[in-house]
């Protein structure tokens, strides 16, 4: 039986049109004569969706009773009995009512597919299992209904049903998604523009990833090794040499010429042993690559050009950047080099050979440390000098029947010397052995001549085999020692990385780990400022104030130097210390950036508060002063006759204006003390139902107020919050059209309470939203005769002082919504949706 095909309509959020698009496809298939039935479609009361079902055949749902309530679910058995070619089953992530055969609807769909029925279905990106936690962090809503990624990725077709956030919010405002009583709450919570934009990006990225998997699978199935330039990808090959920085920056310049290009840096480690790459240089280059927006990779392969090209083709790279060879012409006669070989075998991948300062200079033959210790080498020489005369004497005492046996015994002796002392003692032994064989055992005996061609060949083979065996033994010992050293270095660096990541102060942890690893007395990081040295950090004993006071020093960068006091470092240990130094320089930069950010934050907040205070003094004091002055001038006028009613009205006006002035000055003084650190914010848990009515009473206006009964308390200063709301509501009233007063609503999101002041006035362009928080800014620069409370700039400053935010948002249908978001009270409990 053929397996059915799965087609999924993927959306970023409810209401984008997944079900509608799926039903359009169902009608197209039915019109082509396909046997299609609707197993289940969730219309959610949307008239257009319900009408779209039309004349399609619908399988009746089955009724399920659970805890005294009746629900309807997909009738899987009826659908299997009907056995259509195609079935329409909406909402793949749905959880079935307990009592059915399967707990999840996607399991019902699996049964249909196994029965050979093709299924059309829908799912939102927030219901994909791997996206669940990401969506929860963005929206503050955890989705309980999820679908395993494997189910969605196994679909033969996934079609994205896309819609811009603005269009989706307009659709919501027009009542095309939710019922009218849920629209305001949805727009203020899940359907905020930022949420929808993030969800849309997640859906696009997930689908792009699946498309990439499909492309990779297609290329693998059809054995396509050629690069398909679907996206520009630049691979830069690094050796750990000083030319790496030049290569990386050149690769970045190539990548930025194409928007969206990827940069991948790769270092190939030879599979037959350590490469000798400088770990400190590689660490610095890795940091540089990641800082420039690329990724760093390390692969292993005995054939460096082959491993590099295999990585590039696997990444579907379009260009490779390598350094030009610094080997001499004589060396290039025997091997073309990695760059030339890679270019010759690259096929459709462009290869850039970049010149650098070290080209034609040669790397300089770095002397390899001896494979064996000095004591073993001396023992090997002594064994060769003493052992071969002793072996010759023994062979004379116990005569051997043939020269062949003598050669084999001498060869065994050479191998023994190689095992003891390595290459050079073994070469000496081979030379001594060949001379003694010629003098004592090869006819004519006692002369350095050979009468038989067979004996000459035997001696030549002896010398060749002895040299080859000596070289193999020495190489094996050298490789073993290098591998052990590399393993120890890797363990050290891994331990360093772990201690740095776990430590609260990474620089101190790094220096302490260096001191412990090499048993040093003191490790100090110095910074040079002209001719002076400054101690950045130090661990261990007495501080080394200058490099001249230390036993060893390693440059971390142009200004930082790592100095050490204690046992002398081996040459091989110095490379690991250089890696420590590079990480220390990085840790210093991170700590200083963090300190600068921490220092700048209070200065920025103080600047905001100062700006807001100036705005209030210059703007908000004018209105009550003018009112009081006019009232007093009227009372003092001698040429104006006032009756008792007029006099009382003027006195009331003066009294009201002076009260406003008194409250305003008190608030300004309190905030001045707050800015100076002399007055703290008295934040308590207070109900919005207490503060909002007081703010409306202070204004003397009546506006619609929608506060949920289960709204948690707000953790804020009641007086400051009231002042903020007075300003926002007054501003909204001033800009609202006649007959459409502003609305005040409240909701919760991710442990915060959001109070929204919504008006339906002319609104403000999005690119000018931040301008309204600057001093003296009003919509359209009109109406300069009325105040705006303490000013929007001061309102934002007060909100942020209480740990909250004040942000504008477009009102669906026109207007501006100001959102005050503050922490919920200590006893706040999230209500599951």
CA distance 643 to 641: 7
* Per-residue pLDDT at 779: 45
- Residue 163 burial (CB count, 10 A): 18
The alpha carbons of the chain give a radius of gyration, in whole angstroms, of 41
CA distance 706 to 187: 14
Residues listed for the chain: 833
Inform me whether the pLDDT recorded for 761 exceeds 90.
no
For residue 822, the SS3 value is strand
Inform me whether the pLDDT recorded for 789 exceeds 60.
no
Positive or negative, the CA dihedral 66, 69, 74, 78 is: positive
CA distance 454 to 59: 97
Max mean pLDDT among 96-100, 394-398, 816-820 falls in 816-820
Question: Checking phi first, is residue 167 left (phi over 0); if not, alpha (psi -120 to 50) or beta?
Answer: alpha
**Which range (3-7, 731-735, 823-827) has the least confidence?**
823-827
Inform me whether the pLDDT recorded for 483 exceeds 90.
no
Q: DSSP letter string over 261-275? A: -EEEEEEEEPTTS--
Greater model confidence, 493 or 563:
563
Greater model confidence, 397 or 803:
803
CA distance 138 to 410: 78
State the average pLDDT over residues 492-515.
65
CA distance 126 to 134: 8
State the average pLDDT over residues 595-601.
79
Inform me whether the pLDDT recorded for 829 exceeds 50.
no
Question: Mean pLDDT, the chain, as a whole number?
Answer: 80
Greater model confidence, 480 or 259:
480
**Given pLDDT bands bounded at 50, 70 and 90, which one contains residue 614?**
low
Quote the percentage of the chain above a pLDDT of 90. Answer: 21
**Which range (199-208, 248-257, 265-274, 290-299) has the least confidence?**
265-274
* Per-residue pLDDT at 159: 93
- Predicted confidence (pLDDT) per residue in 634-646, tens digit: 778 777 777 888 7
Max mean pLDDT among 220-234, 526-540, 815-829 falls in 526-540
Quote the percentage of the chain above a pLDDT of 70. Answer: 80
**Which range (573-582, 668-677, 780-789) has the least confidence?**
780-789
**Which range (37-51, 489-503, 576-590, 724-738) has the least confidence?**
489-503
Instruction: Give the predicted TM-score (pTM) of the model.
Output: 0.42
Inform me whether the pLDDT recorded for 183 exceeds 80.
yes
**Given pLDDT bands bounded at 50, 70 and 90, which one contains residue 559?**
confident
State the average pLDDT over residues 483-508.
60
**Given pLDDT bands bounded at 50, 70 and 90, which one contains residue 115?**
very high
Which H/E stretch holds residue 7? strand 6-11
State the average pLDDT over residues 700-718.
87
Q: Whose CA is closest to 736, among 707, 765, 703, 698?
A: 703
State the average pLDDT over residues 302-325.
84
User: Which tokens in the block code for residue 251?
Assistant: 């690769």
* Per-residue pLDDT at 496: 55
CB 518 within 8 A of CB 577: yes
Beta strands across the sheet bearing 816-823: 705-706, 743-749, 752-758, 816-823, 805-810
Letter string b/e over residues 715-742, b meaning 16 or more CB atoms within 10 A of that residue's CB: bbbbbbbbbbbbbbbbbbbbbbeeeebb
**Given pLDDT bands bounded at 50, 70 and 90, which one contains residue 393?**
confident
CA distance 380 to 386: 10
Burial of residue 670 (CB within 10 Å: 0-12, 13-18, 19+) is middle
State the average pLDDT over residues 599-610.
67
Inform me whether the pLDDT recorded for 504 exceeds 50.
no
**Given pLDDT bands bounded at 50, 70 and 90, which one contains residue 665?**
confident
State the average pLDDT over residues 752-775.
83
Inform me whether the pLDDT recorded for 218 exceeds 80.
no
* Per-residue pLDDT at 298: 82
CB 410 within 8 A of CB 459: no
CB 708 within 8 A of CB 732: no
Q: Whose CA is closest to 475, among 365, 369, 371?
A: 371
**Which range (74-88, 458-472, 475-489, 573-587) has the least confidence?**
475-489
How big is the CA angle at 591 (ends 589 and 597), to the nearest 5 degrees? 100
Max mean pLDDT among 196-210, 215-229, 399-413, 774-788 falls in 196-210
CA distance 475 to 466: 14
Max mean pLDDT among 184-193, 499-508, 573-582 falls in 184-193
For residue 187, the SS3 value is helix
* Per-residue pLDDT at 83: 94
């Amino acid at each position: 039986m053929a397996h059915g095909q799965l087609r999924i309509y993927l959306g970023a959020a409810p209401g984008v049109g997944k079900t509608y698009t799926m039903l359009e496809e169902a009608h197209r298939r039915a019109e082509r004569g396909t046997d299609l039935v609707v197993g289940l479609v969730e219309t959610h009361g949307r008239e257009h969706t319900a009408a779209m079902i039309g004349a399609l055949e619908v399988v009746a749902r089955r009724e399920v009773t659970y805890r005294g309530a009746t629900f309807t679910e997909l009738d899987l058995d009826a659908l299997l009995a009907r056995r259509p070619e195609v079935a329409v089953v909406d909402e793949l992530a749905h959880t079935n009512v307990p009592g059915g055969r399967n707990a999840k609807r996607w399991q019902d769909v699996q049964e249909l597919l196994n029965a050979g029925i093709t299924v059309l279905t829908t799912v939102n990106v927030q219901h994909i299992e791997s996206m669940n936690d990401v969506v929860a962090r963005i929206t503050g809503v955890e989705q309980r209904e999820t679908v395993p990624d494997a189910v969605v990725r196994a679909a033969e077709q996934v079609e994205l049903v896309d819609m811009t956030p603005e269009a989706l919010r307009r659709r919501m405002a027009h009542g095309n998604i939710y019922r009218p009583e849920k629209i305001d709450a949805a727009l203020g919570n899940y359907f905020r523009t930022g949420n929808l934009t993030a969800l849309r990006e997640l859906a696009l990225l997930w689908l792009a990833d699946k498309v990439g998997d499909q492309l990779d699978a297609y290329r693998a199935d059809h054995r396509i090794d050629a690069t398909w330039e679907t996206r520009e990808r630049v691979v830069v090959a690094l050796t750990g040499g000083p030319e790496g920085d030049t290569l990386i920056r050149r690769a970045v310049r190539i990548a930025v010429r194409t928007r969206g290009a990827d940069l991948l840096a790769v270092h190939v480690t030879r599979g037959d042993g350590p490469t000798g790459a400088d770990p400190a240089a590689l660490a610095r280059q890795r940091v540089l690559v990641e800082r420039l927006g690329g990724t760093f990779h390390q692969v292993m392969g005995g054939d460096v050009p082959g491993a590099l090209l295999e990585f590039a083709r696997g990444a579907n790279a379009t260009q490779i950047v390598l350094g030009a060879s610094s080997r001499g012409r004589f060396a290039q006669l025997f091997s073309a080099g990695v760059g030339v070989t890679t270019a010759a075998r690259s096929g459709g991948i462009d290869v850039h050979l970049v010149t650098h300062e070290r080209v034609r200079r040669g790397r300089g033959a770095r002397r390899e440390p001896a494979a064996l210790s000095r004591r073993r080498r001396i023992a090997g020489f002594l064994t060769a000098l003493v052992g071969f005369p002793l072996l010759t004497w023994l062979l004379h005492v116990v005569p051997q029947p043939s020269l062949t046996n003598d050669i084999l015994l001498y060869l065994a002796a050479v191998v023994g010397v190689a095992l003891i002392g390595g290459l050079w003692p073994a070469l000496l032994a081979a030379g001594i052995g060949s001379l003694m064989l010629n003098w004592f055992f090869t006819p004519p005996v006692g002369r350095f001549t050979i009468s038989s061609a067979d004996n000459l060949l035997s001696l030549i083979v002896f010398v060749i085999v002895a040299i080859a065996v000596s070289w193999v033994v020495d190489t094996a010992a050298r490789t073993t020692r290098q591998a052990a050293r590399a393993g120890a270095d890797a363990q050290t660096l891994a331990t360093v990385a772990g201690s740095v990541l776990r430590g609260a102060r990474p620089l101190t942890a790094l220096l302490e780990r260096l001191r412990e690893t090499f048993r040093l007395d003191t490790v100090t990081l110095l910074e040079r400022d002209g001719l002076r040295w400054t101690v950045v950090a130090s661990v261990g004993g007495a501080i080394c104030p200058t490099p001249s006071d230390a036993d060893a020093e390693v440059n971390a960068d142009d200004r930082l130097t790592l100095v050490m006091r204690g046992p002398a470092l081996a040459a091989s240990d110095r490379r690991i210390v250089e890696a420590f130094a590079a990480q220390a320089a990085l840790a210093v930069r991170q700590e200083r950036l963090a300190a600068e950010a921490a220092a700048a934050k209070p200065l920025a907040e103080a600047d905001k508060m100062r700006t807001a205070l100036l705005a209030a003094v210059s703007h908000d004091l004018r209105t009550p002063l003018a009112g009081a002055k006019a009232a007093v001038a009227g009372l003092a006028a001698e040429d104006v006759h006032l009756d008792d009613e007029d006099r009382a009205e003027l006195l009331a006006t003066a009294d009201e204006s002076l009260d406003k002035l008194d409250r305003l000055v008190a608030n300004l003084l309190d905030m001045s003390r707050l800015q100076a650190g002399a007055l703290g914010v008295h934040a308590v848990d207070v109900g919005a139902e207490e503060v909002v009515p007081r703010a409306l009473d202070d204004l003397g206006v009546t506006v619609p107020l929608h506060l949920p009964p289960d709204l948690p308390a707000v953790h804020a200063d009641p007086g400051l919050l009231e002042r903020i709301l007075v300003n926002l509501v007054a501003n909204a009233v001033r800009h609202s059209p006649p007959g459409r007063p502003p609305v005040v609503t409240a909701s919760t999101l991710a442990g915060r309470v959001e109070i929204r002041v919504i008006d339906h006035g002319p609104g403000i362009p999005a690119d000018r939203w931040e301008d309204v928080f600057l001093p003296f800014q009003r919509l359209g620069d009109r109406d300069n005769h009325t105040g705006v409370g303490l000013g929007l700039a001061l309102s934002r400053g007060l909100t942020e002082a209480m740990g909250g935010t004040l942000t504008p948002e477009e009102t669906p249908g026109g207007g501006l919504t100001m959102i005050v978001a503050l922490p919920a009270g200590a006893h706040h409990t999230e209500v599951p949706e």
